[in-house]
Amino acid sequence: MGILKKSLSSKSNRSAITIIAEGNKFSGEMNIVGKMHIDGMFEGNINSLDNISIGKTGHVSGNIKAKHMTVSGLLEGEVVCDELHIEKGGKVRAMVLSKIMSIDPAGCFQGERRENASPAYPAAKAADYESGVDAIDSLPDKITLTTSEKQNS
């Protein structure tokens, strides 16, 4: 059983940061107001009204809901957020529901990403994608996915 550290800000208009330090392991369901940083291990469900970051030594497995997620460690499971950023060395193996998703060149994403829960966006056809070799040769240094305001007809 690890120690959950909470650092309070000196200004009342700033939120607190909850930290799960390296070497600590937690499991269960967590509802949190304020920012959270994880360098240890967490297994279970996290519901946050703010931002969650997973450090290089952090490992999170479960269902995660947050405003913004930044991953430098390992994230597995299901993720619902407004924005997900996978940094260098970060690995995400999950079903992701997000408006924006960005991946640094040395980041890793395995799974499926959807923009919203309803099938409002039409499924892409195979003809909409480039051939395998052409697609690999044309990859940019950083990939950022955003929701579109208009649907293509």
Instruction: Tell me the per-residue pLDDT of 86-109, one tens digit each, with 9 for 90 and over.
Output: 999 999 999 999 999 999 999 999
Mean pLDDT (the chain, rounded):
78
141 pLDDT tier (thresholds 50, 70, 90): low
125 pLDDT tier (thresholds 50, 70, 90): very low
Tokens (6 digits) for 102: 């960005």
Residues 4-35: b if buried by 16+ CB within 10 A, e if exposed? eeeeeeeeeeeeebbbbbeebebeeebebebb
> Backbone phi, then psi, for 104, in 5-degree steps?
-65, 160
Span 56-67, mean pLDDT?
96
Give how far Cα 50 sits from Cα of 80, 96, 97, Å. Answer: 12, 17, 16
Model pTM score: 0.68
